[in-house]
């Protein structure tokens, strides 16, 4: 805090008008109504950037105003400031950025925008006003540079009337005036983090297949994170990071296990320009400092993190992409296990991520199409064999169908580990020369007519099975021990995998589930005898009825 200055402290002027307090559901409903304002005039791929951009602008302004109120209260309690000094201190940028709050220039503050948008006077259009605000926030906050949608709102074809209605709706939202279930006031960051994730999911649903390129279902992300267990101080990498959901969940995991924000280092890359911007905004909202590269870019051909060796790699890359430019990467050093086919990037993704793993702690979780577990064409079988022989593959999980709204292609999870030894003081189970297979195809519950989701209990069951198999500290603390479960999981030695020609489909290894015997059930021999006797009795009754019918027909004729 700045040094106390002499003078009187008159009542504060220009206090912002607070938005009405609403619960989380009302807030989400309002935001989706805001999206409806633009729906019809453009498709989901376009209007999501308008809505999410404005939500972000409203959030940074609310968070700024929230910090400003706290600062003003502290200054008034401290006393000794003139009104001029007070207003000067309230505009001290360090008093905001030093508390993890973005600096918002006066022309980008929501009160200014809402007032100008609501008036009929002025030479600026609403689109010009919003573009100027986005540019001002980006220019004064280096971490947001090139991440905000500048030039979007005043673009040709944008309906000013709808844009004004959108601003009016978002103006009703107060991110800093929300209450949690415990009745306590929630911070603007916590509220918007939740709402932003909700909007990303809704837009992915509205956008259909294309939306799935940047959105991974939360329960799948949670499963990856729960299995990999990111630890404080570790480096986390996602080469196809989409909107950044993997990083958000990883931070939540660390915090829920006693860590603090910024305890992990986050690195990522994204090919799509707009999605890269969404990711930067999403991570900024959650207070996560991340290195997503200086710009968007193709991970295979423009790797922004060439020298990175990560402890945890998590990704849901696009399935089975054929136009990834593999013909230009024939001698790439990443292809340690074999040159991937130019017509399918699955094994290029696997090897790229394997190349990023740190030598000892490195582990990865990757979502891929089921075909990757058994394909033999174009050398894929040989690459898979080499990875298994190198003892890189730790666990394979077959997922239920209908988990991804963007595709009906069945999916699986590959978990890789650089070191499956006990690792000294970690006292892990020695799993060298073994692979854990989990068949989760029968799990999941329908959450809509076409979509299924894993429940929290099912996510925990899969993660617990892996940790029990690996003998991790989290499993030991809870006394969980591993055992093969027919129909669900099996730890298979390398010799058995060789017998199956290195096909990694869990169903080949786990077998059929055991059927529990009913102690009150009728013995099989007795049941067969009883049913046979009943069948013969039916035959006799049938013959009797046939004779009776013939007799009656004879009388008629």
- What CATH code is carried by the domain that includes residue 312? 3.40.50.150
Q: Which residue has the higher pLDDT, 200 or 37?
A: 200
Tell me, yes or no, whether 248 lies in a domain. Answer: yes
Number of domains in the chain: 2
Q: Which residue has the higher pLDDT, 58 or 214?
A: 58
Tell me, yes or no, whether 528 lies in a domain. Answer: no
pLDDT at 175: 67
pLDDT at 15: 44
3-state secondary structure (DSSP) of residue 274:
helix
DSSP output for 497-523 = HHHTTT---THHHH-PPPPPPPTTSPP
Please give the residue range of the domain that contains residue 325: 208-510
Task: Tell whether 194 and 155 lie within a shared domain.
Answer: yes
3-state secondary structure (DSSP) of residue 396:
strand
Task: Tell whether 99 and 248 lie within a shared domain.
Answer: no
Tokens encoding 397? 């999980």
Tell me, yes or no, whether 522 lies in a domain. Answer: no
Task: Tell whether 113 and 238 lie within a shared domain.
Answer: no
Task: Tell whether 145 and 241 lie within a shared domain.
Answer: no
| CATH number of the domain to which 164 belongs | 1.20.1260.30
Q: Select from 188, 204, 220 the last residue of a domain.
A: 204
Tell me, yes or no, whether 87 lies in a domain. Answer: yes
Quote the CA–CA distance of 247 and 265 in Å, as a whole number. Answer: 10
Tokens encoding 40? 């019809």
- pLDDT, the chain, mean: 86
Q: Select from 204, 230, 253 the last residue of a domain.
A: 204
Tell me, yes or no, whether 126 lies in a domain. Answer: yes
Spell out the residues 6+ positions from residue 470 whose beta carbon is closer than 8 angstroms to its own: 394, 428, 429, 431
> Please, which residues bridge with residue 397 across strands?
413, 438
Task: Tell whether 347 and 425 lie within a shared domain.
Answer: yes
Task: Tell whether 52 and 82 lie within a shared domain.
Answer: yes
Task: Tell whether 213 and 161 lie within a shared domain.
Answer: no
Q: Which residue has the higher pLDDT, 49 or 403?
A: 403
Task: Tell whether 142 and 236 lie within a shared domain.
Answer: no
pLDDT tier at 214, thresholds 50, 70, 90 = very low
Sign of the dihedral through C-alpha 167, 130, 15, 115: negative
Question: How many C-beta atoms surround the C-beta of residue 510 within 10 A?
Answer: 20
Out of 237-246, 452-461, 512-521, pick the least confident. 512-521
From the list 4, 130, 132, the residue with the least C-alpha distance to 58 is: 130
From the list 518, 511, 459, the residue with the least C-alpha distance to 490 is: 511
Tokens encoding 389? 């022989």
Tell me, yes or no, whether 2 lies in a domain. Answer: no
Task: Tell whether 161 and 215 lie within a shared domain.
Answer: no
For 45-102, how does the pLDDT look when each residue is reduced to its tens digit (9 = 90+)?
A: 567 788 888 888 988 998 899 899 999 999 999 988 999 999 999 999 999 999 889 9
Tell me, yes or no, whether 185 lies in a domain. Answer: yes
Q: Percentage helix, strand, coil, to 5, in the chain? A: 45, 10, 45
Task: Tell whether 255 and 342 lie within a shared domain.
Answer: yes
Task: Tell whether 103 and 75 lie within a shared domain.
Answer: yes
DSSP state of 327: G
Tell me, yes or no, whether 17 lies in a domain. Answer: no
The β-bridge relationship of strands 393-398 and 235-238 is unpaired
pLDDT at 520: 62
Show contacts of 129-133: CB within 8 Å, 24+ apart: 130/54, 130/57, 130/154, 130/163, 130/167, 132/107, 132/108, 133/57, 133/107, 133/108
For 132-146, how does the pLDDT look when each residue is reduced to its tens digit (9 = 90+)?
A: 999 999 999 988 888
Q: Select from 473, 494, 510 the last residue of a domain.
A: 510
From the list 96, 97, 98, 72, the residue with the least C-alpha distance to 85 is: 72
pLDDT at 203: 74
Task: Tell whether 200 and 228 lie within a shared domain.
Answer: no
């Amino acid at each position: 805090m700045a040094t106390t200055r002499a003078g009187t402290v008159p009542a504060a002027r220009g206090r912002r008008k607070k938005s009405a307090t609403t619960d989380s559901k009302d807030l989400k409903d309002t935001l989706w109504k805001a999206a409806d304002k633009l729906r019809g005039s453009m498709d989901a791929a376009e209007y999501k950037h308008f809505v999410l951009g404005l939500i972000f602008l409203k959030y940074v302004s609310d968070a700024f105003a929230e910090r400003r109120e706290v600062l003003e209260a502290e200054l008034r309690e401290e006393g000794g400031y003139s009104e001029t000094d007070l207003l000067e201190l309230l505009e001290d940028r360090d008093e905001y950025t030093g508390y993890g709050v973005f600096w918002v220039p006066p022309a980008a503050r929501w009160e200014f925008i809402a007032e100008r948008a609501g008036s009929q006077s002025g030479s600026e259009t609403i689109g010009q006003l919003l573009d100027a605000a986005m540019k001002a926030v980006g220019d004064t906050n280096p971490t947001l540079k090139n991440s905000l949608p500048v030039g979007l709102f005043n673009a040709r074809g944008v309906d000013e009337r709808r844009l004004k209605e959108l601003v009016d709706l978002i103006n009703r939202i107060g991110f800093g005036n929300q209450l949690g279930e415990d009745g306590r006031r929630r911070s603007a960051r916590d509220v918007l983090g939740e709402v932003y994730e909700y909007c990303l999911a809704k837009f992915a649903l509205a956008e259909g297949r294309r939306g799935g390129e940047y959105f991974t279902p939360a329960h799948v992300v949670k499963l990856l994170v729960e299995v990999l267990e990111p630890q404080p101080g570790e480096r986390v990498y996602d080469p196809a990071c989409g909107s950044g959901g993997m990083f958000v969940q990883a931070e939540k995991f660390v915090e829920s296990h006693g860590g603090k924000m910024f305890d992990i280092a986050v690195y990522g890359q994204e090919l799509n320009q707009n999605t890269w911007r969404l990711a930067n905004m999403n991570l900024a909202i959650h207070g996560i400092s991340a290195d997503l590269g200086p710009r968007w870019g193709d991970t295979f051909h423009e790797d922004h993190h060439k020298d990175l060796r990560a402890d945890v790699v998590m990704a849901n890359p696009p399935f089975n992409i054929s136009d990834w430019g593999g013909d230009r990467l024939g001698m790439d050093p990443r292809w340690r296990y074999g040159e991937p086919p130019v017509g399918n990037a699955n094994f290029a993704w696997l090897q790229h991520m394997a190349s990023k793993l740190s030598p000892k702690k490195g582990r990865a979780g990757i979502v891929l199409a089921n075909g990757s577990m058994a394909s033999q064409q174009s050398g894929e079988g040989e690459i898979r064999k080499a990875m298994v022989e190198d003892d890189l593959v730790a666990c394979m999980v077959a997922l239920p169908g209908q988990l991804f709204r963007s595709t009906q292609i069945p999916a699986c999870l590959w978990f890789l580990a650089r070191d499956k030894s006990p690792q000294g003081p970690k006292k892990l189970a020695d799993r060298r020369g073994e692979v854990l297979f989990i068949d989760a195809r029968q799990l999941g519950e329908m959450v809509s007519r076409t979509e299924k989701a894993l429940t929290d209990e099912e996510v925990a069951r899969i993660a617990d099975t892996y940790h029990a198999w690996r003998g991790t500290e989290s499993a030991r603390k809870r006394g969980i021990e591993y055992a093969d479960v027919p129909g669900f999981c099996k730890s298979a030695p390398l010799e058995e995998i060789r017998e199956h020609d290195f096909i990694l489909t869990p169903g080949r290894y786990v077998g059929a589930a055991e059927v529990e015997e009913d102690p009150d059930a009728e013995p099989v021999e007795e049941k067969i005898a009883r049913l046979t006797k009943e069948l013969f009795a039916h035959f006799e009754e049938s013959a009797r009825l046939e004779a009776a019918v013939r007799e009656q027909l004879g009388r008629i004729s």
